[in-house]
Structure 1
Amino acid sequence: MIAKEFEDFLLQHLDHYLIAADDLAIFIDSHNTDHVMLLLANNGYSRVPVITKDKKYVGTISISDILSYKAKHQLTDWEMSKMDIAEMVNTKIETISDQASLTETMHKLIDYSFLPVVDNQGTFIGIITRKSILKAVNSLLHDFTDYYTITPHD
């Protein structure tokens, strides 16, 4: 459990943790592989969230997910170019609720560089990155005593 004072301090930066869906590169599950490969390669994104047209979270996609699918199913470049990414989406990255506690968020971020945030209907809200949490922890470590006095227990 996170000490209440630390949690309060970190939660002051909460609006900085979430990168809203509107500010992200996102793919629709019906996008074709050529389009997705081109955007991933040209923009340097390693992994991008995938949603449905009605903004429901599906998973994430990367170049390696597409190439793995191609190899597993022994598809040609031409066959791949006609497919959408729905079948290739990686669903292994855990999501987090928009109501999740800071403790749960931090525990899940240990294994992933970002967590997709969804509401209780599965609508994609955005992502929380490990980087944003580490920035807040860095601020905590440097600025905590500007707000709190630390006294040791006897």
Structure 2
Amino acid sequence: MEIKSFLLPKDKVSYLTTSASMKEAMERLEACHYTAIPIIDEEGKYVGTLSEGDLLWKLKCTPGLSFVNMDEVSVTNIRKRIYNECVAIDAHMEDMLALAADQNFVPVVDKDRVFLGIIRRKDIIEYYTRNITD
């Protein structure tokens, strides 16, 4: 089996660009019901993942920051406490499965690190649950 068989393509994934603000990030997370969201740059390359926790810590640790002015904070200025490793679309399944064990989703990139989509741990578990035979 190939990694691409689990891929949820970019056009079906919510993500942020590096130009997004903290307010946009919160609104996007709320709308898509994610707890973390991929971030891509202007060239479409994966640069990291922003979590709800990252937003909460930024709000807590920045004097004067509130819901009123968080549109002034760029997502690039928010410390990411966890880096979700990405996997190349042509990598071995074992590489992707090792990452999925520790991450809710695995970002998938091409050879130039352009973001192609994600693989959700939930989909992997569902696939193996359906296909396990005693």
Bin the TM-score by the shorter chain: 0.7 to 0.9
TM-score, reference length from structure 1: 0.75
Task: Work out whether residues 16 and 132 of structure 1, in 8 Å CA contact, stay in contact via their aligned partners in 2.
Answer: no
The structure whose residues are more often helix, as a share, is 1
Superposed, which structure 2 residues align to 1:82-93 within 5 Å? 82-88=72-78, 90=80, 92-93=83-84
Query: Within the alignment, does 1:40 sit opposite 2:52 as a pair?
Result: no
Q: Give, in angstroms, the shift of residue 89 of structure 1.
A: 5.8
CA distance in 1, matches of 2:42, 2:77: 16
How many residues are aligned here?
Answer: 132
Query: What residue is the counterpart of 2:50 in the other structure?
Result: 61
Name structure 2 gaps, 5 residues minimum: none
Query: What residue is the counterpart of 1:111 in the other structure?
Result: 102
Name structure 1 gaps, 5 residues minimum: 1-10, 146-154
Aligned residue for 2:35, secondary structure, equals coil
TM-score, reference length from structure 2: 0.85
Superposed, which structure 2 residues align to 1:1-12 within 5 Å? 11=1
Q: Give, in angstroms, the shift of residue 15 of structure 1.
A: 4.6
Q: Which has the larger radius of gyration?
A: 1
Query: Within the alignment, does 1:51 sit opposite 2:40 as a pair?
Result: yes
Q: Give, in angstroms, the shift of residue 75 of structure 1.
A: 4.2
Aligned residue for 1:138, secondary structure, equals helix
CA RMSD of aligned residues (A): 2.1
2:70 to 58, 72, 80: 80
Percent identity reads: 24
Query: Within the alignment, does 1:136 sit opposite 2:127 as a pair?
Result: yes
Aligned residue for 1:60, secondary structure, equals strand
